[in-house]
Amino acid sequence: HLMPTAVKLHRRRRAANMAAHMRRLTHRSYSQVQTDFSSNRVRRTFTDFFHELYQHIIVPSSPVRPRGDPSLLFVNAGMNQFKPIFLGAADPRSEMATYRRVVNSQKCVRAGGKHNDLEDVGRDVYHHTFFEMLGNWSFGDYFKEEACIMAWRLLTEEYRIPPERLYVSYFAGDATSGLPADEETRHIWLSMGVPSDHLLPFGMKDNFWEMGEIGPCGPCTEIHYDHIGGRNAASLVNADSPDVVEIWNLVFMQYNREADHSLRSLPQFSVDTGMGLERLVTVLQGQRSNYDTDLFTPLLSAIQQSSNCPEYRGRTGEADVGKVDMAYRVVADHVRTLSVCIADGVYPGMSGAELVLRRILRRAVRFSTEVLQAPEGVLASLVPTVAHILIYFIYFQIMDIINENEAQFLSSLKQGRRVIDRTLQRLEKNDTLFPVPVAWSLHRNLGFPLDLIGLMLEEQGLSVDQRALDVLAIENEKLRCQVQTSGDTLVHLDLHSLAQLQSGEVPHTDDSPKYHYSLTQDGKYVFQPCHATVQALYCGQTLVSEVAGGQRCGVVLDRTCFYAEQGGQSHDQGYFIRDGLPDVLYPVEDVQLAGGYVVHQVTAAEVLRKGDQVQLYLDEPQRLACMVKHTATHVLNFALRQLLGSSVEQRGSHVAADRLRFDFSGSLSIPQLQEIERSIHNIITENNAVYIEEVPLARAKDIPGLRTVDEVYPDPVRVVSVAVPVADLYDSQTDRWTSVELCCGTHLLTTGEIGDLVIISERQMVKGISRIVAVTGDDAREAREAGQVLTQEVESLSARLAMVTSLSLADANRLAKEVGILTDAVDCTPIPQWKRRELQTRLKGLQRTTNTSIRKLETKEVSQAHNPILIPLLSLAPGTLVMLLSHQQPSGKVLCACQVALSASDWALTVCVRLGGNAGGSATVAKGTGSVANLTEALRCAEEYAQDKTQNRC
């Protein structure tokens, strides 16, 4: 577009002033650069610079667990929390929708998924699994020139880095993609005085940034730093040289990568920059290694004091004898990651991000105990040092979690080390490959991360066939998942269609009718009818004016009473009819919210056109069931806090028509489960009113005892309070502690409508995090009744066992089978969880009783059967070695009896172990049991043993 002359002149003058300033800075020698920048000062200088000089809003770092983004294990870049803005999907009522200029320091973890630095950590001096990303953003405000000027001014003036040490790269274009070179950025840098030999073009790999396979993307310009100086280091830029490193990436969001891999211009251009704090601090503190800065040196010192190793020397590769310095780096990096993740609610576990964190912990434990020879507990003892450096978390619970997980792994580590040592002894002298089955067994059965196995073998000069391991991992994953995925996909508005709706001034959907319902005097909920107009139709990633019958499409209405899935509550179901076509139903299969528009997924029964008038009908029983479960979830949350204290934290929840799920920090005993249900029952019986009111977000945050989760809340926000009117919550004289939460969900108007609540499951998902599953109403009543029935059956079986004075082997086996069937029923039937645990304990006792009876009866039978044979044989041939094996029915076991002059117990043990069992006895008489596997093989083993012992005696 044409630029006004005055603006052009202003920019030329500003660029000329910047160039003159750069010439002055160029004469400054590196020795004059101050190195008094602490890491805290570097971070603060960055945010203050953009906030005070360029009016950027300082936004706090989001937790490392991504907000509602299943495509990511961890937040791995500063822009993650702003993805709704880039995608045009930010809630127009939220503060995020108002952002234009933003700055922050974001906690990031790169250990899994597309960006995974885990296996590189420790090998060099600059890779990390946890790091902080400094960044500034413009959302449709300033663009390339302003971003470059701000960045250069910060680096050369505020941080006082000599300009001659800096090199700038820009996008050279890509013919395949039809993208021209970014000459605009090149001219901006030249006009600012960057020498042409410090300004370098690169292609898609280095200077074109993409959010993912699809989504916003654009050319970027990077600033690199030469640690050496006094030379022209242009040839080392983007050459993986440790001497010339990238410190800042300025991304210009201009395009969107479409599903067909084509590029379309974005409706709004933005700036997204990222600069690693660790790498910047290394430069400003005059170091060559990130581990030599104040972000790590206190940690390395603490590690040295806790271990039996010499102090850290910063060596890498072959110079690092025994990989001691690598171990220092691994432990220092990993304990930072563990501390930050656990503080943000990600605990070591068995899937997803939790599994990655478990790998990190086990890797750290192994290097700490085996390489650094540190005693157990050292890893957790480093957490206070991390907290002192990073400031932003409390560490006591973190230490407990790390200690518990370390103790679990150390047992596996010792066992795994023995397996590796035994395997190495069996290998031929020239073997360099470790057996793949053994490596997989270490991973699958003992929980060894595959990369850790590789490191342990590398220390022995061995390797493992990685391709064969990958095949096993893929096959195992297929077996584990076996999830049938449907070819149907949900209809989601893309950012171009959202921009079209906004530019076409299509108003956001008024979804307030979803809250329009009332409770009649006879206890029935009445949902008000809703009439709407079709505002837009979305089909095949395109906005269309009409859809034909049979087509699946997204329908945007001017208003709706359907609840879009959000806040952990499932979406509504139902249908709508078109005016003039009352007998044709358009079923609503899914409801989603995007950028203020509610999208109803519909398979059109007949033609549907933009502008059509429709009448909406909810599936009222389904909606009411969700309302019951959502209010019950709030009451459950409150009851947990009453019992466990205010420190208990919600870690997730989901509300559906059939049940509710609630994740929290902690766990519950049988008495606590009973107390929780009693507390909830009291609240239901009291039939308290549920008060709901919209209030300004800032005002809501002043409510004492308010419970919130890590979400971006709209403004104003809905406050849901049980028993106490919202206005009274601000009164400091109010002494009634109650359930009060910020929530966009639909709720009951009184607690009595819950009817009943039963916790049918409570189990630990990962260390420190438990999941409750509960049912309400008739389902809760049925669960209680089922629990009573199973209790009676267990009591009946227990009484029958107690009354039996003498059992036959057949009777004992029949009773054991009954115990097993009843155990399965208790495990699988929806009953109160506290009752399930009681019954499981009793059934385990009954199982032990029946098993003991069976063993005694079988032993008695074999003695009665074997003795008449053993005695005559021994009397005829006193020096004979005799062993008898008998196959028992119906248990399927093999009973063994032997009598010899020497080592009968050893003989029996050798044979029974071969049969998968055990044996015992004296030197002359022994007995044992095993399972039917290969009796012929067992007999051969017995004969070989006897012959060997006999020959040795002779």
Task: Write the CA distances from 319 to 315, 324, 325, 414, 434, integer angstroms.
Answer: 6, 10, 10, 28, 26
More confident site: 540 or 353: 353
Per-residue model confidence (pLDDT) at position 842: 92
481 is in an annotated binding site: no
Q: What is the DSSP letter of 318?
A: G
Q: Which residues contact 270 (CB under 8 A, 6 or more apart)?
A: 85, 86, 137, 138, 139, 140, 216, 252, 253
Instruction: Give ∠ CA 328-333-338 in degrees, rounded to 5.
Output: 125
The model carries a pTM of: 0.74
CB 97 within 8 A of CB 91: yes
- Separation of alpha carbons 534 and 585, rounded Å: 15
630 is in an annotated binding site: yes
pLDDT in tens, 667-683: 999 999 999 999 999 99
- Separation of alpha carbons 757 and 637, rounded Å: 13
The CATH class that applies to domain 623-688+750-867 reads alpha beta
CB 43 within 8 A of CB 134: yes
Alpha-helical regions (H) of 383-430: 383-390, 396-426
The CATH class that applies to domain 5-292 reads alpha beta
CB 773 within 8 A of CB 659: yes
CB 365 within 8 A of CB 338: no
Task: Find out whether the peptide bond into 671 is cis, omega within 30 degrees of 0.
Answer: no
Q: Check whether 893 has a pLDDT greater than 80.
A: no
pLDDT in tens, 424-474: 888 887 888 888 888 887 777 677 777 778 878 887 888 888 888 878 777
Mean per-residue pLDDT over the chain, rounded: 86
Say which CATH topology domain 495-618 has: Elongation Factor Tu (Ef-tu); domain 3 (2.40.30)
Q: Check whether 929 has a pLDDT greater than 90.
A: no
CB 633 within 8 A of CB 642: no
Q: What average pLDDT does the segment 772-794 reach?
A: 94
Question: Which tokens sit at 18?
Answer: 């910047």
Pick the range with the lowest mean pLDDT from 259-268, 385-394, 872-881: 872-881
Coil vs helix vs strand at 792: helix
Pick the range with the lowest mean pLDDT from 78-87, 570-579, 859-868, 911-920: 859-868
Question: Which tokens sit at 240?
Answer: 């993986």
More confident site: 488 or 563: 563
Question: Which tokens sit at 448?
Answer: 């060894």
pLDDT-based confidence at 877, cuts 50/70/90? low
Cβ neighbours of 39 (radius 10 Å): 20
Pick the range with the lowest mean pLDDT from 346-355, 438-447, 924-933: 924-933
Q: Return the CATH number of the domain spanning residue range 877-952.
A: 3.10.310.40
pLDDT in tens, 43-63: 999 999 999 999 999 999 999
Q: Check whether 112 has a pLDDT greater than 80.
A: no
- Separation of alpha carbons 205 and 200, rounded Å: 14
pLDDT in tens, 580-592: 888 788 889 899 9
pLDDT in tens, 153-180: 999 999 999 999 999 999 999 999 899 9
Per-residue model confidence (pLDDT) at position 20: 54
Instruction: Check the CA dihedral 86-89-92-93 and report its sign.
Output: negative
pLDDT-based confidence at 797, cuts 50/70/90? confident
pLDDT-based confidence at 347, cuts 50/70/90? confident
Q: Check whether 789 has a pLDDT greater than 90.
A: yes
Instruction: Check the CA dihedral 886-888-894-900 and report its sign.
Output: negative
> Highest-confidence range of 404-418, 686-700, 933-947, by mean pLDDT?
686-700
- Separation of alpha carbons 550 and 603, rounded Å: 6
Instruction: Give ∠ CA 413-416-418 in degrees, rounded to 5.
Output: 115
- Each domain of the chain, given as residue ranges in start order, spans 5-292, 295-426, 430-484, 495-618, 623-688+750-867, 877-952
Q: Check whether 4 has a pLDDT greater than 60.
A: no
- Separation of alpha carbons 835 and 780, rounded Å: 13
Pick the range with the lowest mean pLDDT from 430-434, 485-489, 778-782: 485-489
Q: Check whether 3 has a pLDDT greater than 50.
A: no
Instruction: Check the CA dihedral 926-929-930-932 and report its sign.
Output: positive
743 is in an annotated binding site: yes
Q: What is the DSSP letter of 670?
A: H
- Separation of alpha carbons 159 and 913, rounded Å: 71
- Residue from 872, 868, 865 nearest 886 by CA: 865
**Location of structure tokens 């790091």:** 131
